[in-house]
Amino acid sequence: MPRVTDLAGWPTRRKMLLAVVGGALTGLGQAPFGLVWLALIGLAGGFWLFQNITTTRQAGWIGWAFGVGYFALVLNWIVEPFLVDIATYGWMAPFALIGMAAGMALFWALAFWLARWQGRSIALVVFWTGAEVLRSVILTGFPWGLLGYIWLDTGIAQFASLIGPHGLTLLTLAGVWALVTALGHRKRIILVPVVVIVGAGLLYLGNGQAASKLLYLAKNGGNSDPKFVRIIQTNAPQHEKWNREMIPVFFDRNLQFTAAVTERKPNLIIWPETSVPYLLNSAEGALQVIADAADGVPVVLGMQRRGEEGQYYNSLVVLGADGVVADVYDKSHLVPFGEYMPGGWLAAKLGLTGLAAQGGFGFGSGDGLRLVDIPGLGRALPLICYEAIFPEEVGGVTPRPDWLLQITNDAWFGNLAGPQQHLAQARFRAIEQGLPMVRAANTGISATIDARGEITAQLGLGVAGYLDVKLPHGLPPTLYSRTGDLPVNLLLIVATAALFLKRRRLIG
């Protein structure tokens, strides 16, 4: 049997098994685990395996296996939507997880293949980061569980305000590569303390940046006219949400929370996604009841509407203090297979519907992210559920919003990793933009998040209630809010070009 130290001689299948384990270890860095050091060990294992790969074909299989281990762990919540109606969709659950993990892993397989083709381990840093960028945009994108997110509860997360999530991924992979390379070469062992010192310095600087932001907030937190919001958390389990007997129970619960009298009247009340069980087109009576309960306070509502063309929309409605609809935002970035079926007319012809579609064969897409004006609270950027996971879209709206507003129904995600990871990504959007976020989630986790990504108040999973909380202050525009992913993308393009030119010269 080959020795562990002679890994290059191991058969591909055995290396793939190690790769799956390494990928799963890396996944433990994501919420709800947050085990950063295990994630770094997992990534180090990925680079170590790469250095013992002999062919491009083997590299592709190892990269794919590493991705399968990672995404199978991180995306395990993907089975939850199929379990809401087990009789109809339950059989799809294992295929959904396997298919999603295997599909996402193809991006990493390509990165490993290209890096082996280049013949340089540093190329894996470039192509792996590039793979994360690609999976964030291809086929509408799915930037869930980006590698840079492992730093959420450390000072390094604050660098997202400068370089964004892909910059964090690049920084992480480069650091792990440097450490593994140094440990693998006696002449370069001196680099180990250098890498450790640089890493400690980044942690220190990150925490220092967080401290400076905290100082800014402290200086600007004494506003003589603070604004308060009330977040409603219905706690309607998805399998009961549209049950005819339970619909009035959940609606009345929201009304009671809305009408609750406290020492200080809120400036805004927020209901979660699709929390009004009526189409906007025929909800005049319900809207009046909500306005009466709010007693002159504007309300943000999650509800559905039918357009003039007969298409249904997942919408956010701003109900003014006078009970009149002031604005309507239609969700623009829809969930494939959840809110619509890719393939359009073919899916409809086959009778395939999105899991969350309540009418027709799916929801229609709105005209894109835009601001809504909230009386007394300025301009908010509305994000309905899934829309909050796209950093480039959140940062692409002009003019700059005053705060971020997310309404969501995380009952689809179960009670474990899904809601925690969704919240983690919302926190990164706040850091990246230097803006506070208010988050109303049907079953939790509802929260207010300050401009440093810290949770200032929250309602946990499976809790019915409301939360009156002060709207945190924003920070000046961050570097990332001004440049987006352009610097990192340009760096990746230049690095890729340099690697290809280097290989061409070697071959020539």
Report CA-CA distances (Å) from 196 to 36, 49, 248, 430: 15, 22, 58, 29
Tokens of 171: 């920084």
CB under 8 Å to 435, separation ≥6 — which residues?
400, 401, 402, 403, 404, 451, 474, 475
Residue 349 annotated in active site: no
- Tell me the backbone φ, ψ of residue 322, rounded to 5 degrees: -90, 5
| Gap between the Cα atoms of 417 and 85, Å rounded | 20
Number of C-beta neighbours around residue 367 at 10 A: 8
Which one of 80, 385, 392, 454 is the catalytic residue? 385
Q: Which helix (H) or strand (E) holds 301?
A: strand 299-306
Length of the chain: 508
SS3 442: coil
Residue 227 annotated in active site: no
Task: Please say whether the beta carbons of 110 and 476 come within 8 A.
Answer: no
- The rounded Cα 137 to chain-centroid distance in angstroms is 13
Report CA-CA distances (Å) from 444 to 247, 302, 467: 18, 15, 12
Residue 263 annotated in active site: no
Task: Please say whether the beta carbons of 369 and 397 come within 8 A.
Answer: yes
Tokens of 253: 């619960």
- Find the distance separating the first CA and the last CA of the chain, reported in whole Å: 40
Three-class HEC string of 454-483: CEEEEECCCCCEEEEEECCCCCCCCHHHHH
Which one of 213, 331, 387, 470 is the catalytic residue? 331
- Tell me the backbone φ, ψ of residue 305, rounded to 5 degrees: -145, 160
Which one of 80, 132, 273, 432 is the catalytic residue? 273
- Tell me the backbone φ, ψ of residue 376, rounded to 5 degrees: 85, -15
| Gap between the Cα atoms of 472 and 435, Å rounded | 8
Q: Which amino acid is at 32?
A: P
Q: Which ranges in 311-468 belong to alpha helices (H)? A: 345-349, 391-394, 417-433
Closest to 300 measured CA to CA, from 283, 282, 321: 321
Annotated catalytic sites, by residue? 273, 331, 385
